Amino acid sequence: MSAPVTPLSDTERSALHRALVSSERPRRSGPVAASLAFAWRALLKIKHVPDQLSDAIIFPVMFTLLFTYLFGGAMSGSPAEYLQYFLPGVVVLAVALTSMYTGITLNQDMHKGTFDRFRSLPIWRPSVLVGSMLGDVVRYAVASTVPLLLGLLLGFRPEGGLVGVLLALLFIQFFTFSLAWIWTLFGVMMRTPTAVQGATFPLQFLLVFGSNILVDPDTMPSWLGFVVSANPVSHATTVVRGLMHGSLTPGELLGGFVACGVLILLFAPLTMFFYNRKQR
Amino acid sequence: MTSDSGPAIETVDLKKSFASTRAVDGLDLNVPRGAVYGLLGPNGCGKTTTIRLLSTLIRPDSGAARVLGHDVVTEADTVRSRISLTGQSTTVDEELTGGENLVLAGLLRGLRRGAARERAEQLLDAFDLAEAANRLLRTYSGGERRRIDIAASIVVTPDLLFLDEPTTGLDPRSRSRVWDIIRVMVDTGTTVLLTTQYLEEADRLARNIAFLDRGRVVARGTPKQIREAAGNATLRLGLHDPRRRGEAEDLLRRDFGARTSWDPETGRLSVSISEAGLAAEAVTRLSQQGVEVSDFAADRPSLDEAFLAMTGYRATTAEREEEEAIR
């Protein structure tokens, strides 16, 4: 009580007074505005803590080099030929692997006081999740562009041309947004980021490697080939491959969008269910 | 509008359990508008759970709560548009700058980008944070962090502000700053529900105070009533011969009208007296009677002592419940 106390000066007090009185009460922000605000928040975090992008660069480079030169000869006779088959897939692989961070960062966020503030706001509930997923677009863009450029350097020649490649990158964004709902589900269900990582990693491994990214399912036993072909990652990879090489059939495109739709319809409501249950 | 008259907060038999602990257990509150209402109690008494229920973060198991005339369950969104929450742990983003935090808060409250920027600047000035505006929050001091937290809560001036232990862990200077801010807020018409572990804080700010224990209100009153019950000063005495405690207590009660209690943890006698000036006299009288005092100190009554004075028993501490509530 004898501590030095410096009360507000009169100017400070009146500044504070003005600030409190002058505030207008705007109309509450709509779903789109709120989601965009959260996306902006995610982008700011990347700006202030850019280290989170390093994984999106290092892993894709590693995988591209490793698989092309280690497996290329054995799989397709030569690395150059394998690269033509494998590169569109490695782009999907790279992005799918980085998408896991969506769940981990969400989980970290949820256990901070920040989320309490968000949940006490009159906003569309899913906007927190949708917004942070939109912010991930930057990370996905980096993770997909890096292996693509490296592949071009190593001799990958997309027959679909620039338009095909750009459309493929666009599709990858949409697919990863769909896939990330699985990780957000883990993110809201689990208690710690480590638990999220522990749970998502094996599943992610299965989804990515149990697909047609590295190997053509025709070479597998029929039951396995069937399972691998049903994997949404396989459908997405087929679309990306088709777009990059200009050989996409309408059926394949439909398959890709159906895979995305199924992921969203299945996992987005589940995520929201568990997210809302946090308030009971 | 009916919601603009009547109490700011009204709860009836509000209950909330976590697993086997009853965090809030039949809470009846009536918080009038336009003043600070203090919720006092030790860790685990249900303060934070109460705030979380009233700010629509969790749902009650039973009972009813109306905030500004609106039900916290069925009209949660209406409640949310009129309240603001500054939680116990920091509710702003560590990885954003102070300015960005305020702009984000403005956008989420429905301001357009330009308006949100202007408002952020105005608040940074008013809260003396203009120089810290472009620093990441994790470089902020405890006092700066609290201020930006409160600023983020009033980007759009709320009708009711929840402040959950706003000054815990702050140095005296930052604390008095936060107090000043709260006073100005109340002057401009905002109702504040304040939880605190510091009696002094509630005494200085609140018009009404409720003591919470085991999730219910066990005593209420104005700061004046509490001061009268708890005494203005507390004398803490150590005795050379603890066996003569009874003798000392009799004397103090008889001659000074003091209420005494023995604190087994410190091995000291707490004596609440109406005037600090009587403390020296009491010590002198004890030695005259041959009860030797080994050491003594005069202090303001602690929360525990006020609690004891108001309820007649010692408050229970159960940190586990509160932790569970926060999770």
Q: What is the pLDDT of residue B326?
A: 47
Find, in chain A, the residue whose alpha carbon is nearest to that of B153.
A117
Q: What is the pLDDT of residue A6?
A: 58
Count of structural domains within chain A:
1
Q: What is the pLDDT of residue B33?
A: 94
Tell which of B73, B109, B161 to mutate to test the A interface (max A CBs under 10 Å): B109
- Note whether residue A4 is domain-resident: no
Residue B93: which of A1, A25, A41 has the nearest Cβ?
A41
Residues 80-99 of B with CB under 8 A from A: 80-81, 83-85, 87-97
Q: Which CATH number fits domain B2-226: 3.40.309.10, 3.40.50.720, 3.40.50.300, 3.40.50.11540?
A: 3.40.50.300
> What are the two backbone dihedrals, phi and then psi, of residue B71, each rounded to the nearest 5 degrees?
-70, 135
- Note whether residue A172 is domain-resident: yes
Residue A27: which of B55, B89, B110 has the nearest Cβ?
B110
- Note whether residue A55 is domain-resident: yes
Q: Distance between CA atoms of A201 and A195, rounded to whole angstroms?
A: 10
* Neighboring chain B residues of A18 at a CB cutoff of 8 Å: 122, 126
Same fold, B2-226 and B232-300: no
Q: What is the pLDDT of residue B319?
A: 45
Q: Distance between CA atoms of B42 and B319, rounded to whole angstroms?
A: 9
Q: Inter-chain contact B188–A279, Cβ cutoff 8 Å? A: no
Per the DSSP assignment, residues forming a β-bridge with B233 are B273
Share of chain B above pLDDT 90, in %: 43
Q: Which domain holds residue A253?
A: 32-277
Whether residue B309 is predicted with pLDDT greater than 80 in this model: the reply is: no
Helical packing angle, A137-154 and A79-98, nearest 10°: 170
Whether residue B323 is predicted with pLDDT greater than 70 in this model: the reply is: no
- Note whether residue A11 is domain-resident: no
- Note whether residue A147 is domain-resident: yes
Q: What is the pLDDT of residue B223?
A: 85
Find, in chain B, the residue whose alpha carbon is nearest to that of A279.
B58
B317 — pLDDT class (breaks 50, 70, 90)? low
Q: Inter-chain contact B89–A33, Cβ cutoff 8 Å? A: no
Q: Distance between CA atoms of A172 and A136, rounded to whole angstroms?
A: 12
* Neighboring chain B residues of A3 at a CB cutoff of 8 Å: 171-173
Q: Distance between CA atoms of B155 and B64, rounded to whole angstroms?
A: 29
B196 and B165 in contact (C-beta within 8 Å)? yes
Q: Inter-chain contact A15–B100, Cβ cutoff 8 Å? A: no
A90 and A67 in contact (C-beta within 8 Å)? yes
**Element containing residue B21 per DSSP (H, E):** strand B21-31
* Neighboring chain B residues of A8 at a CB cutoff of 8 Å: 177, 180-181, 184
Cα end-to-end distance, chain A, whole Å: 41
DSSP B156-193: S--SEEEEESTTTT--HHHHHHHHHHHHHHHHTT-EEE
Compute the nearest-CA separation of A279 from chain B (Å).
4
B2 — pLDDT class (breaks 50, 70, 90)? very low
A71 and A82 in contact (C-beta within 8 Å)? yes
B110 close to A (CB below 8 A) = yes
Compute the nearest-CA separation of A209 from chain B (Å).
35
Q: What is the pLDDT of residue A233?
A: 94
pLDDT digits (tens, 9 = 90+) for B195-245: 998 888 888 899 999 999 889 898 888 888 887 777 767 788 888 888 888
- Note whether residue A2 is domain-resident: no
Q: Inter-chain contact A44–B185, Cβ cutoff 8 Å? A: no
pLDDT digits (tens, 9 = 90+) for B140-194: 998 899 999 999 999 998 999 999 999 888 888 888 888 988 998 898 889 999 9
Whether residue B276 is predicted with pLDDT greater than 90 in this model: the reply is: no
Q: Inter-chain contact A3–B173, Cβ cutoff 8 Å? A: yes
B229 close to A (CB below 8 A) = no
Q: What is the pLDDT of residue B322?
A: 45
B36 — pLDDT class (breaks 50, 70, 90)? very high
Q: What is the pLDDT of residue B28?
A: 94
Strand bridging mode B233-239 / B268-273 = antiparallel
Interface TM-score (ipTM) > 0.85: no
Q: Inter-chain contact B177–A8, Cβ cutoff 8 Å? A: yes
* Neighboring chain A residues of B125 at a CB cutoff of 8 Å: 15, 19
Q: Range with the lowest mean pLDDT among B23-32, B44-53, B232-241, B285-294?
A: B232-241
Compute the nearest-CA separation of B84 from chain A (Å).
7
Residue extents of the structural domains in chain B:
2-226, 232-300
Q: Inter-chain contact B184–A123, Cβ cutoff 8 Å? A: no
Q: What is the pLDDT of residue A218?
A: 83
Per the DSSP assignment, residues forming a β-bridge with B261 are B270
Residues 240-269 of B with CB under 8 A from A: none
Q: Inter-chain contact B184–A16, Cβ cutoff 8 Å? A: yes
Residue A5: which of B109, B136, B176 has the nearest Cβ?
B176
CATH 3.30.70.870 for the B232-300 domain, yes or no? yes
Q: What is the pLDDT of residue B269?
A: 85
DSSP B28-57: EEEE-SSSEEEEE--TTSSHHHHHHHHTTS
Compute the nearest-CA separation of A241 from chain B (Å).
38
Q: Inter-chain contact B128–A12, Cβ cutoff 8 Å? A: yes
10-residue block means of pLDDT along chain A (280 residues)?
A: 57 80 80 95 90 83 85 76 88 90 86 84 90 89 92 91 94 95 92 89 90 85 88 95 93 95 95 78
Whether residue B318 is predicted with pLDDT greater than 80 in this model: the reply is: no
